[in-house]
Chain A
Amino acid sequence: QQPVQSPQAVILREGEDAVINCSSSKALYSVHWYRQKHGEAPVFLMILLKGGEQKGHDKISASFNEKKQQSSLYLTASQLSYSGTYFCGTEIGDYKLSFGAGTTVTVRA
């Protein structure tokens, strides 16, 4: 049930863009995105519900393709503060969040 995230890691220069993908084999009710910096707790970024709505948080946005059970997180014009591990959490309507293995993003000056 664990969603699959890709890529596992990405290295960016400041100002570059990146896309993180999250896919599930099950029909999804919602997709959650979190960012975790080393030694810290995961921090909520956004939730996408069924309906394919795209959301944004500063220059980080996400989409949810309900038919493909996939979500993508877009990091635009990346900043040093974007470094961390990004997790998608998927929920199939049973109150349980299943997290992907994470994508480590490193943004360099």
Chain B
Amino acid sequence: DSGVTQTPKHLITATGQRVTLRCSPRSGDLSVYWYQQSLDQGLQFLIQYYNGEERAKGNILERFSAQQFPDLHSELNLSSLELGDSALYFCASSAGLAGGEQYFGPGTRLTVT
């Protein structure tokens, strides 16, 4: 158990819909990262927040957005969902701004039908 929690575990929704994935980092960790893992794209970095501020952006679509709240939990919002958005979405946390080990949550499996 990494100490990172993610909800929900599974999510099934239809194309065009909007969903919100939630992540709580390990106690004391200030950085939260979001990753998308699919069979054809592998593990892709989406975005990083540090202490409430966006710090780095990866291959995140404009239809996706994220935020980190004062209590350090984070949410990833996915809108206008397409079939290709079906994937495993991981949240990870680390203590500092950069360079440290990242602890991954169990993931949210999103299926878009």
Q: Taking beta carbons and an 8 Å cutoff, which residues of A are in contact with B?
A: 2, 29-30, 32, 34, 40-44, 47, 49, 87, 91, 94-102
Contacts and interface: CB of A to CB of B under 8 A. Distances in A.
A31 B23 CA distance: 25
Contacts of A34: 104
Contacts of A32: 101-102
B45 interface: yes
B101 A96 contact: no
A102 B42 contact: yes
A95 B42 contact: no
A2 B2 CA distance: 26
Contacts of A97: 33, 45, 102
Contact of A95 (B56, B90, B104): B56
Contacts, number: 51
Contact of A30 (B99, B104, B107): B99
B106 interface: yes
Nearest to B2: A41
Contact of A87 (B43, B100, B105): B43
Contacts of B24: none
A34 B100 CA distance: 13
Contact of A47 (B42, B43, B44, B101): B101
Top 3 nearest A-B pairs by Cβ distance? Answer: A41-B104, A95-B56, A99-B43
Nearest to A93: B98
26 contacts: A29-B99, A30-B99, A32-B101, A32-B102, A34-B104, A41-B104, A41-B105, A41-B107, A42-B43, A42-B90, A42-B104, A44-B102, A44-B103, A44-B104, A47-B100, A87-B43, A95-B55, A95-B97, A95-B98, A96-B45, A96-B48, A96-B58, A97-B102, A98-B45, A99-B43, A100-B42
A95 B43 contact: no
A96 B43 CA distance: 12
A39 to B, nearest CB: 9
A99 B97 CA distance: 19
Contacts of B33: 97
Contacts of A30: 99
